[in-house]
């Protein structure tokens, strides 16, 4: 029998996060959801990552309501989210009670697959979320944040897969967030994992940033990868994923079984061409995000980080410093112990690189997140932090010797009491804990709309 290769569609999450900084509101894609449901995807990635933050901050949407609406329109397709381990969807670690309740509510509101990663590949930061996902009845996809460095080896990655499986992972995702994995690297790593765990499905996630993605996927499939992440063609390429339709065509020609419905994917492509053109017209989708950039093989900046970096420099009228900031990025990464560049470490390293360039002096100013990182609040770094840099940032303060989350007090019950009369449900409480200032503003706007509706008829509201 021909081997089946399944697809995860990323247009509702990572594709638009990588190309347009997650600025895709629900009403822009609502008309095509029922078509997506007919396309035959293994899963549709539609939540998590930056979507939660952006819904509250820029799109004025309740992220929980957005998820429920998508669930209602896609009854036959698994919904997938990206979860940052102990960071959940934020940029700092949260207490265990928050992690557990968030996972529970995500599943109750419609999520079927939770892809769980840690920015440092510290499995101690994955355990609580993995166990909560299994308990909630969802698929726990244990994730490797793929990167290259002197300390990242196939042996280490296979050891991590062993730990993830023992925690309850029923699939493994190799998350190549910067598009730096070459075809031979993909073949070798997938083969190593399959040799150790032949029955464990592997999902490979990469980006087209460097131009390697199509070749990488084909060699990974040859080595035994079961699932690949792709984006419908109008939102593919550049810092996004390779095109769904192209890979379906190529894999079928090579003799693999692909269950995608070509009529549905064509209708999706026709629809999203119009959506893409709107974002091109208003300047949100910038040409650099769509280009192939082989420098990424050196600086390892992932798609979402690249589009946000461009946006930040544009706001600061400092786009002329873009190349200089990219050169500084791998230097900062080496200083900090070679963290994989994925949220939140990608933002931390990127912001620090920009500050070093704009200040004209390395580590003259550092963010509170970098200080927390050097204290050990984000977990164990792949390699030791440069002692001189750590001393410059921390002074005489000593790093933590225990898991940071173990030092945090439970937060859910206390916040429920704090939001009495404001929060309507636990989902509101979770939104507030994750992003308190944004949630407060959203609650106030929601209350104002509800009060204004009193003056109209029910039909008009």
Q: Is the pLDDT of residue 2 over 80?
A: no
Q: What is the pLDDT of residues 193-208, one digit of tens each?
A: 999 999 999 999 999 9
Contact present, 230 and 9 (Cβ < 8 Å): yes
Task: State residue 221's pLDDT score.
Answer: 98
Residue 125 backbone class (left: φ over 0; alpha: ψ -120 to 50; beta: rest): alpha
Q: What is the pLDDT of residues 425-444, one digit of tens each?
A: 999 999 999 999 999 999 99
Q: What is the pLDDT of residues 106-143, one digit of tens each?
A: 999 999 999 999 999 999 999 999 999 999 999 999 99
Higher pLDDT, 449 or 73: 73
Residue 182 backbone class (left: φ over 0; alpha: ψ -120 to 50; beta: rest): beta
**358 band by pLDDT with thresholds 50, 70 and 90:** confident
Average pLDDT, the chain: 93
How many CA atoms are closer than 13 Å to the CA of 276, on its beta-carbon side?
A: 23
Chain centroid offset of residue 288 CA: 20
Higher pLDDT, 91 or 376: 376
Task: State residue 307's pLDDT score.
Answer: 65
DSSP labels, 100-153: HHHHHHHHHTT--EEEE--TT--GGGTHHHHHHHHHHT-EEEEEEE---STT--
Q: For the chain, state the CA radius of gyration.
A: 22
Q: 141: which strand partners?
A: 115, 171
Task: State residue 315's pLDDT score.
Answer: 80
**291 band by pLDDT with thresholds 50, 70 and 90:** confident
Average pLDDT over residues 439-458: 80
Task: State residue 302's pLDDT score.
Answer: 65
Task: State residue 460's pLDDT score.
Answer: 43
Q: Is the pLDDT of residue 304 over 70?
A: no
What percent of the chain has a predicted confidence (pLDDT) above 70?
Answer: 97
Q: Write phi, then psi, for 173 (nearest 5 degrees).
A: -110, 130
């Amino acid at each position: 029998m021909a081997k089946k290769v399944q697809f995860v569609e990323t247009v509702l999450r990572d594709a638009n996060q990588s190309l347009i900084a997650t600025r895709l509101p629900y009403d822009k894609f609502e008309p095509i959801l029922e078509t997506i449901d007919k396309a035959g995807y293994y899963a549709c990635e539609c939540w998590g990552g930056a979507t939660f933050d952006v819904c509250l901050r820029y799109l004025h949407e309740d992220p929980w309501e957005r998820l429920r609406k998508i669930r209602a329109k896609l009854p036959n397709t698994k919904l997938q989210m990206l979860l940052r381990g102990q960071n959940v969807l934020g940029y700092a670690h949260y207490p265990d009670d928050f992690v557990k309740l968030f996972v529970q509510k995500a599943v109750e509101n419609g999520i079927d697959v939770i892809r769980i990663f840690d920015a440092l590949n510290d499995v101690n930061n994955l355990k609580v979320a993995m166990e909560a996902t299994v308990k909630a009845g969802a698929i726990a996809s244990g994730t490797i944040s793929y990167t290259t460095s002197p300390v990242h080896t196939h042996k280490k990655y296979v050891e991590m897969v062993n730990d993830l499986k023992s925690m309850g992972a029923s699939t493994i995702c190799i998350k190549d967030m910067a598009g730096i994995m070459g075809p031979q690297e993909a073949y070798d790593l997938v083969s190593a994992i399959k040799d150790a765990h032949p029955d464990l499905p592997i999902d490979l996630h990469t980006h087209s940033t460097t131009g390697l993605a199509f070749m990488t996927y084909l060699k990974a499939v040859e080595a035994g990868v079961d699932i690949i992440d792709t984006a419908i063609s109008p939102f593919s390429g550049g810092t996004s994923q390779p095109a769904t339709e192209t890979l379906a065509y190529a894999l079928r020609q090579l003799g693999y079984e692909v269950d995608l419905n070509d009529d549905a994917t064509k209708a999706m492509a026709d629809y999203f061409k119009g959506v893409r053109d709107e974002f091109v017209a208003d300047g949100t989708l910038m040409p650099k995000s769509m280009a192939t950039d082989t420098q990424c093989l050196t600086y390892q900046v992932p798609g979402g980080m690249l589009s946000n970096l461009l946006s930040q420099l544009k706001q600061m009228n400092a786009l002329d410093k873009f190349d200089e900031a990219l050169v500084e990025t791998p230097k900062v990464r080496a200083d900090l112990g070679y963290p994989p560049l994925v949220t939140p470490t990608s933002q931390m390293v990127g912001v620090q690189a920009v500050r070093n360039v704009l200040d004209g002096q390395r580590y003259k100013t550092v963010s509170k997140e970098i200080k927390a990182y050097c204290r050990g609040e984000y977990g164990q770094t792949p390699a030791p932090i440069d002692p001189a840099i750590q001393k410059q940032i921390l002074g005489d303060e000593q790093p933590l010797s225990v898991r940071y989350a173990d030092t945090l007090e439970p937060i859910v019950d206390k916040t429920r009491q704090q939001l009495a009369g404001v929060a309507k449900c636990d989902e509101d409480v979770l939104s507030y804990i994750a992003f308190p200032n944004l949630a407060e503003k959203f609650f106030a706007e929601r209350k104002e709309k509800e009060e204004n509706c009193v003056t109209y008829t029910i039909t008009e509201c």
